[in-house]
Structure 1
């Protein structure tokens, strides 16, 4: 068994160089959305503009843009760029009021799918900048700005953040484990198992990517590795604690290992199944950015469960004598059990009072949800030091903050659409810097619109709404209109994530209910579990809204956090209720089963939750705001779930429900 895991680790490590090389940036596209249809129409109507358009920002403090040397250097650099694979037509954009004397903006088309564009970009950028530096004698700079350049910078930021986060999480988790388990010998095993789970999960994802052509992006890898680390620690910890319990009761290593397989092994499999079922609900979202999270979470849960039921028992059997080595000088085991026993007896005497108090606390935490606002933006602080970020900042300073394409298709062979009135109306809008018309001579007329407002701003969305709902219907009655550009891509991604949230939540709840009914042989307990999980997620988002300026939260987070927290909460529910069910089947006394289950699982849950909190809290060092928001939401949700909900509200409610906890139609 150990040899098999060692071989898997070696194979996984061998894939890591190619994994890092082939990683893509997070995708903005939403297949089937209006922005995707507009991009296809523009690519078909103007093939030279490619599948995406980026802006090349030239800047010089030594030369003016009209000088011969400036123009010659720019032309030389652009000619070198045009010769690169994947580069289409290149057109200079008209100057705008407020544009700097040393600034020039050029439009370039990019061919290929998202992954191909991202892979080619570093070479294209290097060629442009090297030729420009040579031709201008270092007097000019050039930046590439657009969806691919910006999100390629995001990719590089994520690649820096992920190893740093893991390096922070592992040693702190080791300290937490040593303190919670009481010996250094016991702490190393979950750490070793979780490290192996992370590596094997990453290797499995690389093989899936190679076999299916699926493009793995950095955000997906970050979430996958963090989930793998958290679940690997959790499941290994549960297995280890059950093993130590069996050894403490007098079982020899072989018998203890068998006991672990019969108890913790079954619990771990149910837990991993709960995570996989919840993660599968992400498949209803059309956006690849979200949809791609499902497989990594499912793979991480599977690998973590396999490690807990095969690798960890094998390690325990081989290293039994090491577990109690390096004992730390504070009480554990019996002393901690006595504290949990006192708490359980106190809670069982006043369950109604504690249920009411925790309910009020969670309601207060949820209250800020009323003021939450969702959006997707470029996260300028994290991009400020990057080339794309500097180019974007220059564009916004000079009033060329974004570019949109207004597409007006017409019958093949018909005259171009008359756009003079529409262009004049747009130029009269304070948000518009330039509006230039063009026709492909066949079936498509376009207006290229340079705006003073940013692509991720509410002002540009309002302008697009005015074009669609007011200007075109009034000035061009009956004319079909589509709008292409990054602003529409962001708007469609936001709309897709938010509109699908209820489908994801409904599917996760329904699947979890069916799954837990089979696990617990009860109807009441699964319903209670789902309600508690929803409370944890709602309270976490309420506190996230309270912590963010203006209550603004990234629109992708609700579906991701809901599935992550729902799956982790199911783990703790299974940890606790399986213990309670074991006692109830033996004694038939609900109050005693609840009390014994709380005593038997409280230490495991608190220690496992602390490890997960440490794992996700390590993402607080990330440069990207959405990564930090994700970490905050998961940390708060797990903290509330493992303390207020799991150790107070759940046992209090189960005490109040009595024998109804175990009711299943047709089973008495």
Structure 2
């Protein structure tokens, strides 16, 4: 194969040449820019917003009534749960309990606390378990303000008295910070890069480039919160995605740069070639991820829009860094890209990401040949395996995590266990009823009807607002927050009990439990629309790149299969409990509502990344040879190693999330790691070559044209200019 000279014209070539020649200026601009954005973003960025309510749901209507007519209830509260083996009236136990209550009340962030010794309703009949509410003086108490309260309760627990502080703020305060770009993820990526490159210098370039880009991207994510509120997991999510794609994109460019040097190019020429070929594919791949992430906007949920904007900003910065900052680094490194190598046995040069055709008999080429000889068998085995893995996804249940699914050593879990034992599992899943009413007597029939419902344990008397225009009461289910029976109870109350009760038509059911149910159902109903939008936009981009409707449709179907398989594995581990404890999930639980929602666009975008790098090379080989079988074998051989390394980096980064403390983020990390593993092995190495072998010339079909039958050198050069080598 004749090596084509890199383009000397075009925007990307000019950008690469400028960044290479003005490398000091480019590096200085990046350093100053990142420092400035980080200072502003981390110093003055918006606080996270975790309120998943809103819209026109029943729980949102109830919350709106409470906020309007019960302003005294706007502050957050904590719940102190107490269990004394010898009873709370034992002298030693009482001294300890009263001291804890006094310490909590003395905090500058808490209001008056009612001692359980002053209210018999706060104590069980056997006097062994008690509770009390700790009001916070402002709604958004910070983690730093609540953490001392959690520590006070933990230190006091012992000697026959168990204490636990529950509530959303307490739960967040005691959850260790999860930093996805920590040393574990970076170290794993470094090891993989060193194995791929064999050089400490080549290993370090992608990592440094990605980390600088992530720092700037996360600062922009914080700043974007002023325009579009985002939940607190947005920064973690954006950093995970940014670290993975940032290192991967730099990996592809550095690999192509090394190959160009080995073919005799000067450092500047090699940089231009790397940016105009692999860099072009990086821009396309990154754009696909951004567009897929922005598919979350169609969900119509303000916080998901915030997640989409924040994560897209980070990916966008990594793309820009790959085609500007990295060429500047290459200008400094030059021929020293392979410096600081460990001595090892010389071997045949790998051409997995570019350069001359690989020698016959490479492992990747032998594998491709084996698949091509039995393509139907490969399609049946690979497709059936993915469908089996995806089957559990049909039983997926969605919910938001609560104290019941936290690790056993958390104070919030201790509080949940104590309260469930003393007051029932439904104490942590209260249903708050709200309605516009002139007196509490007007809700009497509704309270009676709700109290008589089969799944209700107890009901509080109704309370009228100070302005006399609204009333509310609370009902406690017999089942817990995560129990499917609680969801059925809420629907029964809304669809049957309230409509039949006199005056029940204007009563709305709210509270954290009902809000989680509404949010999960709203998400499930809008998910198909988001999937359709993401697939449609990605198909348009892929068709424009590879000039084939057939290949684009193949990619969409196989991406859906790999994502479905990841969903199935997630359900089996998290919801069914298979190997859950070994992976850090304390108990079986529903899948976090927003998990599949954010996983789909990210995974679809990442799958398209690998599709771009593989199919671009196959298309290039096809235009050179005119033979699909040869093109697939050569294309797979040339991309197998670099795609495997890129996927391994992604898996390593996502797996570090599984090791973290947040159960929701752990779920997403597990699902994405499994999806990338499946995509890089079963899909790219088995299904893609098998399906392309079966389709033959039809792979290159485009409406209004014919599939290419021959590939003269001029056509090969045109294809290279249009798509870029990978």
TM interval, shorter chain, is: 0.7 to 0.9
**Structure 1 residues 65 and 433, CA, compared in 2 at 3 Å: closer, same or farther?**
farther
1:39 aligns with 2:63: yes
1:499 aligns with 2:502: no
Deviation at residue 545 of structure 1 after TM alignment: 2.7
Deviation at residue 224 of structure 1 after TM alignment: 0.8
Q: In terms of mean alpha carbon deviation, does 343-352 or 311-320 score higher?
A: 343-352
1:95 aligns with 2:121: yes
**2:140 paired residue among 89, 92, 117:** 117
Contact 2:214–2:239 (8 Å) recurs in 1: yes
If the length of structure 1 is used for normalisation, what is the TM-score? 0.86
If the length of structure 2 is used for normalisation, what is the TM-score? 0.80
Contact 2:261–2:335 (8 Å) recurs in 1: no
Instruction: Provide the C-alpha distance between the structure 1 equivalents of 2:453 and 2:549, rounded to a whole number of angstroms.
Output: 63
1:206 aligns with 2:222: yes
Instruction: Provide the C-alpha distance between the structure 1 equivalents of 2:681 and 2:115, rounded to a whole number of angstroms.
Output: 60
Contact 1:247–1:253 (8 Å) recurs in 2: yes
**Structure 1 residues 491 and 424, CA, compared in 2 at 3 Å: closer, same or farther?**
closer
Flag structure 2 segments of 5+ consecutive residues without an equivalent.
Answer: 1-25, 353-357, 578-589, 707-726
Aligned positions of 1:3-42 closer than 5 A: 3-14=28-39, 18=43, 24=48, 26-42=50-66
Instruction: Provide the C-alpha distance between the structure 1 equivalents of 2:97 and 2:704, rounded to a whole number of angstroms.
Output: 84
Counterpart in the other structure of 2:672: 634
SS state of the match for residue 436, structure 1? coil
1:176 aligns with 2:195: no
Contact 1:427–1:434 (8 Å) recurs in 2: no
Counterpart in the other structure of 2:711: none
**Structure 1 residues 70 and 462, CA, compared in 2 at 3 Å: closer, same or farther?**
farther
Instruction: Provide the C-alpha distance between the structure 2 equivalents of 1:206 and 1:168, rounded to a whole number of angstroms.
Output: 24
Deviation at residue 17 of structure 1 after TM alignment: 5.6
Instruction: Provide the C-alpha distance between the structure 1 equivalents of 2:470 and 2:482, rounded to a whole number of angstroms.
Output: 27
Contact 2:403–2:416 (8 Å) recurs in 1: no
Once the two structures are superposed, residues 543-576 of structure 1 have per-residue CA deviations (whole angstroms, 9 ceiling, x without a partner) of 2333345264333222122112111101000111
Once the two structures are superposed, residues 608-644 of structure 1 have per-residue CA deviations (whole angstroms, 9 ceiling, x without a partner) of 1111111111222122333222222111111111111
Counterpart in the other structure of 1:482: 508
Contact 1:76–1:132 (8 Å) recurs in 2: no
Instruction: Provide the C-alpha distance between the structure 2 equivalents of 1:259 and 1:272, rounded to a whole number of angstroms.
Output: 19
**2:204 paired residue among 182, 188, 200:** 188
Instruction: Provide the C-alpha distance between the structure 1 equivalents of 2:141 and 2:653, rounded to a whole number of angstroms.
Output: 30
SS state of the match for residue 449, structure 1? strand
Once the two structures are superposed, residues 123-162 of structure 1 have per-residue CA deviations (whole angstroms, 9 ceiling, x without a partner) of 477589989999xxx9999865334443454xx43x2x32
Contact 1:39–1:51 (8 Å) recurs in 2: no
Deviation at residue 328 of structure 1 after TM alignment: 4.7
1:524 aligns with 2:540: no
Aligned positions of 1:491-570 closer than 5 A: 491-548=517-574, 550=576, 552-570=590-608
Contact 2:551–2:699 (8 Å) recurs in 1: yes
Counterpart in the other structure of 1:250: 264
Instruction: Provide the C-alpha distance between the structure 1 equivalents of 2:90 and 2:451, rounded to a whole number of angstroms.
Output: 27
**1:573 paired residue among 596, 608, 611:** 611
SS state of the match for residue 333, structure 1? coil
Instruction: Provide the C-alpha distance between the structure 1 equivalents of 2:512 and 2:699, rounded to a whole number of angstroms.
Output: 52
Instruction: Provide the C-alpha distance between the structure 2 equivalents of 1:91 and 1:428, rounded to a whole number of angstroms.
Output: 32
Counterpart in the other structure of 1:367: 391
Aligned positions of 1:206-245 closer than 5 A: 206-209=222-225, 212=226, 214-245=228-259
Contact 1:61–1:102 (8 Å) recurs in 2: yes
Contact 2:257–2:274 (8 Å) recurs in 1: yes
Deviation at residue 351 of structure 1 after TM alignment: 2.9
**1:611 paired residue among 618, 632, 649:** 649
Instruction: Provide the C-alpha distance between the structure 2 equivalents of 1:58 and 1:546, rounded to a whole number of angstroms.
Output: 35
Instruction: Provide the C-alpha distance between the structure 1 equivalents of 2:462 and 2:89, rounded to a whole number of angstroms.
Output: 24
Deviation at residue 415 of structure 1 after TM alignment: 7.2
Q: In terms of mean alpha carbon deviation, does 320-329 or 344-353 score higher?
A: 344-353
Counterpart in the other structure of 2:583: none
SS state of the match for residue 95, structure 1? helix
Once the two structures are superposed, residues 208-231 of structure 1 have per-residue CA deviations (whole angstroms, 9 ceiling, x without a partner) of 33xx25455432111111111100
**2:279 paired residue among 246, 258, 265:** 265
**Structure 1 residues 627 and 332, CA, compared in 2 at 3 Å: closer, same or farther?**
farther
Q: In terms of mean alpha carbon deviation, does 538-547 or 629-638 score higher?
A: 538-547
**Structure 1 residues 130 and 254, CA, compared in 2 at 3 Å: closer, same or farther?**
closer
Counterpart in the other structure of 2:166: 145
Deviation at residue 661 of structure 1 after TM alignment: 2.1
Q: In terms of mean alpha carbon deviation, does 489-498 or 353-362 score higher?
A: 353-362
